Amino acid sequence: MNEKEINDGMQQAQNIFNLKDDFSLIKAFNEGEETAFNDLVNRHKEKVRNLIYLNLGSTSSIDDISQEVFLAVYRKLKQFRFQSQFTTWLYTITINKIRDHIRKQKIMSVFSAFSSDDTENVVEPGSFKENFDVNEMVRDAVAKLPRKLKEPLILRDFEGMSYQEISDATGIETGTVKSRIFRARESLKKMLQPWREELL
Amino acid sequence: MKKFDKDFENISAMADGELREDQEAIYREKMQNSPAFKEKFNEYNKLKKTVESIPKLPEDHYFVSRLNEYIKKENKKTSGLRPFYKPAFGLVALTVVLMSFFKLSPEFMDDLFETQKGNIIDFYTKNLRPYFQEDELTKDDIFNFAFSQVLPIDGSGQNVISLDESGSGASIAIRQSSFGDSIMSLKEFTEKLDLDKTQQLKLNNVLKKYEDKIRGSILVNDNNTVAVNANLWNYNMALKAEILAIAAENETFAKVMPAGLMESMPAFASIDFADNEDSFVCINPDTVFVTSIRVNTHDPSYNIPVVNKVNILKNTQVKLAPSKQKYGGFHGKLGDSSKTKKFRVFVDTNFIKFDIPDFAFETKMPTLMELERIDSLVELSMKNFNFEMRNFPDGRGFSFDMKFDSLGLPGHDKMIEFKFDTTDGFNFDMNFPGKDSGKFKIVVPKNPDVYKNFKGLEGLDSLMIFKFNGKDTVFNFNMPFQNFDGEFKEFNEEMKKFREEMKKFREDFKPTKPKNKKDKKPVVI
């Protein structure tokens, strides 16, 4: 780590310590302070990466998609209107990028015999070994959920977003969010039924 | 089941803390009364915790560094433009560049179009060669063309190229022959002028010279294009002038030649057509245009006959005909200001007539005005018209002599013969003699009573019938014959009118008999 990186790191830590909120960082960036963007990224990058990971159930595309997400943020930040939480806006972009990726994967699968993402992450209950990793199994089970159910469930249980925020981020009604989360849980419960005792 | 689903959905929402307080109170009460509801609530809470407990990915400490590099790279690649805008930006940029280019080079498109036109013109004018093969045009054809301005373009003589004058100026027509096309005889001209051998040789050389020019003026090719040199009119005038220059060597003829014309005769022979000899009006079934064509007369293919050349003309007429009147364009060299000019073309199924465009007809004819006087030459001569009326001694009849000055032709003292036959009305025959015809003669009717019905010569012109009769031209007049006395003054006036009619014969000395009598029909004058 060179001196510049150390200094940058210290500056980031100080910003976080100073509890600069997202809006302040965005304003600072829009006023020309490039490091404010790095602070924003540092603050939210892991949430974005995990959100992508849980939605795709694969680590292969996390880096590419998360970079696309923050590149979009970088380019659109001047258009941010401060009318919603930055995280809501950020997750909206993330969800859209994930959807774009899945769409591209579907198109790619037309031209290839195998779809790596699909084949690598298929979860078959009977295929687990006795010394299975529970966490990994749950993650795989979540990944197996239909996209429409998976997105609100992850945003709720993993990111801790309210139904309204999920509605804003995904563009669906709160009533629908509520219904989909319920259906996602019911589906997940069925998928994890063989290990009910261990998990539930 | 649906009711349970709705309840469980609300319990799920309650686990998320998303139920309204009143609803939550209801479900808490239900859970107390229903173990199933309670179990569901616990189940959802466990599921929540299970999902929440999914371990997060290890933190990526270099993500920001990579992201910054990625952003720099993307910014450099797109120059700040989203990929979505790339095509639009490309189009806008291209438009701006093209607009700027055309602004700075306004002639570029014109040049481009002209180049394309040039390619098309090259196609249409490729391998043009004379319509008339060598020896296909006879000396008679050339001589006749000089004075009648008609050139037969097929063996039967049914179709001709003729020089015409329209309201807008000179024009050239490709059409069917008509009765009005007079035919001049080289043989008669030579005989009447009594040309000696040197003069005949000179005349032959002139005819040969213009035969070549005329051959080179009417071109055709296998791409159905007929090209006519706009100079054809000039050639005609110059040819006529040069022939008359030879005629002027005849002393008697020279007497009646306008002095100015005599002086300018040498100029005709020295007219330089070279400057504008390459302006051709090109006609084909697709279009009519004027362009510059340089024909290499030394090319071996120059004299190769074009098959079905008459049909080419016919097809062109038929295909162009629907437009009836159109405008030909001028396709000159780049930068030529005349390239935007147009000229009128009239087309029907049996003729094409086009005005000679001024811009293609610029050869200076220094003696043009004098040349026009040639046309009046015959008229001048015809004014030397002697008319002497003599009454018969008993006052019951008359006779007169009419003498035409024959333009200095040998034997000009010969009279044109008139014949009266009053046995049934007033019949007046005028006989233009052939070379050996005799003198004027009047036949006096034996019964003078017929003059009583003579009412004068009113309407003489309209009653006059013109027809060709044998070798000689005969005018027949038929009219009632009453009150003959005192009508001679009017007769005199009518004779003046008659002299005007005689101007019709000014077409060079004398109308000759047609080659084919069947082709000629009476023409009402």
Are A25 and A36 a contacting pair, CB within 8 Å? Answer: yes
- The answer to the question of residue B229 being in a domain is yes
- The answer to the question of residue B79 being in a domain is no
d(CA B321, CA B305): 27
Does B497 contact A at CB distance below 8 Å? no
d(CA B21, CA B23): 5
Picking from B16, B57, B59, the nearest residue to A156 by CB comes out as B16
Q: ipTM value of the model?
A: 0.77
Phi/psi at A164 (5° precision): -65, -40
Task: Tally Cβ neighbours within 10 Å of residue B448.
Answer: 15
Closest chain A CA to residue B9: A182
Domain boundary residue, one of B366, B400, B421: B366
**Whether residue B420 sits in one domain with residue B325:** no
Of the ranges A121-125, B79-83, B200-204, B285-289, which one carries the lowest mean pLDDT score? Answer: A121-125
Q: Check whether B460 has a pLDDT greater than 70.
A: no
Domains of chain A as residue ranges with CATH: 122-200 (1.10.10.10)
Domains in chain B, number:
3
**Whether residue B458 sits in one domain with residue B359:** no
How confident is the model over B43-63, as a mean pLDDT?
85
Closest chain A CA to residue B18: A163
**Whether residue B250 sits in one domain with residue B153:** yes
CA distance B95 to chain A (A): 27
Identify residues of A whose CB sits under 8 angstroms from chain B CBs.
5, 38, 41-42, 45-46, 49-50, 53-54, 59, 62-63, 66-67, 70-71, 74-75, 135, 138-139, 142, 153-154, 156-158, 162-163, 178-179, 181-182, 185-186, 188-189, 192, 199-200
Q: For position A116, what pLDDT does the model report?
A: 44
d(CA B473, CA B480): 23
Are A139 and A50 a contacting pair, CB within 8 Å? Answer: no
CA distance B92 to chain A (A): 22
Could you give the C-alpha distances from B321 to B284, B346, B347, B461, in angstroms and in order?
12, 8, 5, 38
- The answer to the question of residue B84 being in a domain is no
d(CA B471, CA A78): 108
In whole numbers, what is the pLDDT of chain B averaged over residues? 66
- Say whether A46 and B43 touch across the interface (CB within 8 A): no
Instruction: Name residue B371's beta-bridge partners.
Output: none
Encode pLDDT of B295-321 as tens digits. Answer: 777 777 787 877 777 777 777 766 666
User: Which residues have CB under 8 Å from A142's CB, separation 6+?
Assistant: A54, A57, A150, A153, A154, A188, B51, B54
pLDDT band at A183 (very low <50, low <70, confident <90, very high): very high
- The answer to the question of residue B426 being in a domain is yes
**Whether residue B294 sits in one domain with residue B434:** no
Phi/psi at B401 (5° precision): -110, 140
Does B74 contact A at CB distance below 8 Å? yes
d(CA B328, CA B323): 12
Q: For position B273, what pLDDT does the model report?
A: 62
Share of chain B above pLDDT 90, in %: 0
**Whether residue B431 sits in one domain with residue B348:** no
Q: Check whether B15 has a pLDDT greater than 70.
A: yes
Coil vs helix vs strand at B138: coil
Q: For position B319, what pLDDT does the model report?
A: 66
User: Which one is predicted more confidently, B524 or A149?
Assistant: A149
- Say whether B9 and A178 touch across the interface (CB within 8 A): yes
CA distance A112 to chain B (A): 26
Of the ranges B83-92, B338-347, B383-392, which one carries the lowest mean pLDDT score? Answer: B383-392
Residue A44: both structure tokens together:
């939210």
Q: Let me know how many helices (H) and strands (E) chain A has, helices first.
A: 11, 0
**Whether residue B405 sits in one domain with residue B357:** no
Q: Check whether B398 has a pLDDT greater than 80.
A: no
In whole numbers, what is the pLDDT of chain A averaged over residues? 79
Closest chain A CA to residue B44: A185
- The answer to the question of residue B75 being in a domain is no
Residue B271: both structure tokens together:
């007219």
Q: For position A180, what pLDDT does the model report?
A: 92
Domain boundary residue, one of B317, B335, B366: B366
**Whether residue B388 sits in one domain with residue B361:** no
Task: Please report which helix (H) or strand (E) contains residue B461, including its range.
Answer: helix B460-463
Nearest CA to B328 out of B345, B311, B303 is that of B345
CA distance B18 to chain A (A): 7
- Say whether A200 and B50 touch across the interface (CB within 8 A): yes
Q: Check whether A172 has a pLDDT greater than 60.
A: yes
Residue A73: both structure tokens together:
């943020």
d(CA B313, CA B298): 26
* Domain membership of residue B509 as a residue range: 383-519
Encode pLDDT of B213-270 as tens digits. Answer: 888 888 888 878 888 887 788 788 788 778 877 877 777 666 656 555 556 555 555 6
Does B64 contact A at CB distance below 8 Å? yes
**Whether residue B151 sits in one domain with residue B32:** no
**Whether residue B387 sits in one domain with residue B344:** no
Q: In chain A, which residues have their Cβ closer than 8 Å to the Cβ of B45?
A: none
**Whether residue B235 sits in one domain with residue B187:** yes
Q: For position B150, what pLDDT does the model report?
A: 86
Picking from A38, A186, A188, the nearest residue to B64 by CB comes out as A38
Instruction: Name residue B376's beta-bridge partners.
Output: none
CA distance B101 to chain A (A): 34
Orientation of helix B186-193 relative to helix B139-148, angle to 10°: 80
Q: In chain A, which residues have their Cβ closer than 8 Å to the Cβ of B12?
A: 178, 181-182, 185
How long, in residues, is chain A?
Answer: 200
Q: Check whether A30 has a pLDDT greater than 80.
A: yes
Phi/psi at B70 (5° precision): -65, -45
Domain boundary residue, one of B335, B366, B397: B366
**Whether residue B140 sits in one domain with residue B263:** yes
Encode pLDDT of B157-183 as tens digits. Answer: 778 888 877 656 677 888 877 755 666
Are B382 and B499 a contacting pair, CB within 8 Å? Answer: yes
Q: In chain B, which residues have their Cβ closer than 8 Å to the Cβ of A181?
A: 12-13, 16
Q: For position B378, what pLDDT does the model report?
A: 40
pLDDT band at A124 (very low <50, low <70, confident <90, very high): very low
- Say whether A135 and B53 touch across the interface (CB within 8 A): yes
pLDDT band at B379 (very low <50, low <70, confident <90, very high): very low
Could you give the C-alpha distances from B382 to A105, B273, B461, in angstroms and in order?
105, 34, 18
**Whether residue B400 sits in one domain with residue B280:** no
